[in-house]
């Protein structure tokens, strides 16, 4: 189980946070907020009204580019999960897969902010480069074989391996 520390941070000193929540009914929520404690508590209270609890939670550290990271996270999540409700709610996905996506989205948003890269490039890169590999990753995550495809909650492929695969595909085309 990959859960952030028990007490979410309050208002971000700058920017905001991205987060992943898995509820006891199997539905997961990804999103962003300026105040993680307030947002997590809101979801806990709302879920409790329907007899559902929070099973696992994860949130990033403070990010200037938190909205960009959220956009990247949602785009990538739609590639590996079933959209349960509009935009940010998903089913049929392992919690650690969403956390891995969140960590990559966070890192890519930081790089994009530094490099002034367009927001959609991350999702396009995942879609183009990982379609076959990513599908296997998601299938393994859903079946509980995460140790074969995940290292510290991330896909076993490094960013350099992603770019190498992309270059090989371009060269072959």
Q: Over its length of 173 residues, how does the chain's per-residue pLDDT go in tens digits?
A: 345 556 788 888 878 999 999 999 999 999 999 999 999 999 999 999 999 999 999 999 888 888 989 999 999 999 888 998 888 999 999 999 899 999 999 988 877 765 543 434 444 454 445 444 555 545 544 554 433 333 344 444 444 555 555 566 666 66
Distance CA 7, CA 37 (A): 7
Residue 172 confidence (pLDDT): 65
For residue 149, with 0-12 CB atoms within 10 Å meaning exposed, 13-18 middle and 19 or more buried, which class applies?
buried
Residue 156 confidence (pLDDT): 45
Distance CA 138, CA 124 (A): 17
Residue 155 confidence (pLDDT): 46
Residue 49 confidence (pLDDT): 95
Is residue 129 a contact partner of residue 162, using CB atoms and an 8 Å limit? Answer: yes
Residue 170 confidence (pLDDT): 66
Q: Angle of helix 95-115 relative to helix 121-143, nearest 10 degrees?
A: 160
For residue 31, which of 50, 57, 13 has the smallest C-alpha distance?
Answer: 57
In degrees rounded to 5, what are phi and psi of residue 66? -65, -35
Residue 149 confidence (pLDDT): 37
């Amino acid at each position: 189980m990959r859960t952030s520390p028990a007490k979410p941070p309050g208002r971000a000193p700058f920017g905001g946070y991205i987060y992943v929540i898995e509820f006891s009914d199997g539905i997961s929520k990804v999103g962003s907020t300026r105040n993680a404690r307030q947002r997590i508590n809101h979801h806990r209270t709302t879920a409790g009204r329907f007899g559902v609890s929070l099973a696992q939670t994860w949130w990033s550290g403070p990010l200037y580019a938190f909205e960009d990271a959220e956009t990247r996270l949602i785009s990538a999540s739609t590639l590996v999960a079933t959209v349960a409700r509009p935009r940010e709610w998903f089913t049929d996905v392992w919690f650690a897969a969403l956390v891995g996506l969140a960590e990559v989205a966070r890192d890519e948003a930081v790089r994009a902010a530094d490099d002034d890269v367009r927001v959609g490039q991350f999702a396009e890169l995942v879609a183009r480069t990982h379609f076959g590999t990513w599908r296997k990753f998601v299938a393994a995550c859903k079946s509980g074989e995460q140790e074969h495809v995940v290292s510290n909650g991330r896909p076993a492929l490094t960013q350099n391996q992603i770019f190498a695969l992309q270059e090989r595909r371009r060269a072959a085309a």
